[in-house]
Amino acid sequence: MGKIAFLFPGQGSQAAGMGKALAEQDEKVKSFFESADQKLGFSLSQLIFEGPQEKLTLTTNAQPALLTTSIAILDYFKRSGVAPDFVAGHSLGEYTALVAAEALSFEDGVYAVRKRGEFMEEAVPNGEGTMAAVLGLDRDKLTAVTEEVTAGGNPVQLANLNCPGQIVISGSRAGVEQASAKAKEEGAKRVLPLEVSGPFHSELMKPAAEKFRQVLDDIEIKDAVVPVIANVTASEMTSAAEINSRLIEQLYSPVLWEDSIRRMIELGVDTFIEIGPGKVLSGLVKKVDRSLKTYAVSDAESCQAVTESLKEELR
């Protein structure tokens, strides 16, 4: 058996009720939700368990909610004895990966992503920026499209390079709309506008990055005990200094997710375990390479099934 990577989902995977059953049956799991409530000064756990979904989906709530739920599930899963060789997370999920790698404490992680969400919301007035998923166009052609539109005065850029044929663009509303139309002319199969509150992972997020720098300066970042594959570079990072600077850059830089998966494959990973709500990342891994083994752990049942499956392979 090759190496194992743990993957942590980003914004969009949140769902009211996530983690609730596990918290009700396990005191340690429940304690993570209680710690998050205490750190943030309001009942995040009630919002996670009961919704409403619209409120949970707000960036400022979704980010700490996903980190809390994913780390609570991770704690439960770790008791099975399965340990990762590498960790990675998609956008917000990178913070969960850093908590998993002990570079950030859980409480600092929850606090940091709550502030990150606030600054992201504030960076661009609502309605002025947006994102869209472009399907079936390669990155070079799409890069040329976004550069042409940006040169015309409406900023837009590649934001999430998720898997072959699936790239998200981000920027000003006019820039995204123009680039979407040009992408179709260049042969994109489909372009799907995304329901987001801002142009995440674009240069328009630089004001948020500047504010967020102060938050990171006020919390302790340690060297990671397991290599974290950085969104910004798609390569391993362990040093506290690099983690700090990459987290600032991550706010306005593309998430190189496909490249990150390919890097882990180069490093010998053949088993990817998605920990947290949903199965989005498992699906993206399969689109990079169908031969890879993927698992998703989101509750007690899936934890047991994955553990048994891995033990079977190790025999």
**Distance separating alpha carbons of residues 49 and 277, to the nearest angstrom:** 13
Q: Which of 13, 45, 70, 91 is flagged as catalytic? A: 91
Q: Is 253 annotated as catalytic? A: no
d(CA 181, CA 132): 11
CA–CA gap between residue 311 and residue 301 (Å, rounded): 16
From the list 35, 170, 197, 201, the catalytic residue is 201
Query: Is 201 an annotated catalytic residue?
Result: yes
Give the residue numbers marked as catalytic: 91, 201
